[in-house]
Structure 1
Amino acid sequence: MRPLLALLLLAACASPDRAFWGAEEGRVTLDGRDYAVYVDRDRARPRVQVIRLGYARRGQHQAILAAMPRAAEAVSGCALVAGSAQGDSGVMNARLDCGG
């Protein structure tokens, strides 16, 4: 029973890539799914990392891919640079255009 409890607790956690350590962290729920968003504004070219929290079933991945840029924009308040998003339905990295 304890391994199952540990697995459930870990499923609610997210850690950013080392490149995003110390970045501003936010959480957002879109379409019933939770995302952890890490915003690094301390660069000439701000960037963001979005991590899907929880399990995704087959058939849900396209909707998740569409929601991840919205999650990044909602938390950061910035637009994504067109064509900069990379990753999959688990983790997405992108550059931000914060207009200033």
Structure 2
Amino acid sequence: MAVVEVTVIPLGTKTPSISEYVARALDVLREEKDIKYELTSTGTIIEGDLDKVLNLAKKMHESVFDEGVSRVITIIRVDDRRDKQLSIKGKLKSVKKKLGKSFN
């Protein structure tokens, strides 16, 4: 299982706000079954089979074009381990454990 961060950036929109386009890209994830994801302030983290997640990232990218945008930049960062299972919560838990009680 992989943990993938996807950031979709539409260019040439009428306003500097892009939340409308981010919402369209998230609709792609909301339609999927058995996909865990977490929206952050600068991207979306998706957990799942690498092939499936990369296909979803492509669909997210295309969904922004469907909103009339002429150019879209999508950044994809993949964390894929073969020695043990990865999860969004597991990665956070590992870091928090190392931070100890000083982390809120």
Q: Which has the higher strand share?
A: 1
TM score, norm. by length of structure 2:
0.29
Larger radius of gyration: 2
Higher relative contact order (CA 8 A, sep 6+): 2
TM score, norm. by length of structure 1:
0.30
Q: Which has the higher helix share?
A: 2
